[in-house]
Structure 1
């Protein structure tokens, strides 16, 4: 059996990457609000995922204000897919 990915064991990071599968990219504030976490908590999670190569971000301007846009990388998408497959294997073993 394949192994769970250590970067996706934190529920917030798993939810974050799952949210990113639905969009090409999303604004930082939308992720923050969707996860119900503070800016600093989201920043730490994103830094961990970016260091692993799972997400990428870019700075830009939206409606006259500076913002950060976040996207799931192809590597991140593949790792998430594999992580979920392992979770499904584990769950299938439950009576």
Structure 2
């Protein structure tokens, strides 16, 4: 069982879960993510930068109707990392729920 320390941080875990919930190849505008997760701009920016450095998200800047916009998208690497992290959390929860003698396969 191995946790991804980058994803394990609560705010980044929320970001990753939200992006995964959007589905494959979906993107979200920065302002929408800001409102949905109830974060400050600085806080969200800092966490997204760390996720981008790890290759878990892409951040694309552009314009929509002459207004600057920033779109965030989960990468395949990010999706896989979240799935592995969730599996580790599920294993930990299973171990906590059942004493060693009651676990399946014991």
TM-score band by shorter chain is: over 0.9
How far 1:61 moved relative to its partner?
Answer: 1.9
Selected match of 1:94 from 89, 93, 96: 96
Number of residue-to-residue matches in the alignment = 94
Unaligned runs of 5+ in 1: none
Aligned counterparts, 1:32-71, within 5 A: 32-71=34-73
- For normalisation by structure 2, the TM-score amounts to 0.84
Higher gyration radius (CA): 2
Helix, strand or coil for the counterpart of 1:37? coil
4+ long deviations beyond 6 Å: none
CA RMSD of aligned residues (A): 1.0
- For normalisation by structure 1, the TM-score amounts to 0.93
How far 1:64 moved relative to its partner?
Answer: 3.5
- Is 1:5 aligned to 2:7, yes or no? no
Unaligned runs of 5+ in 2: 98-106
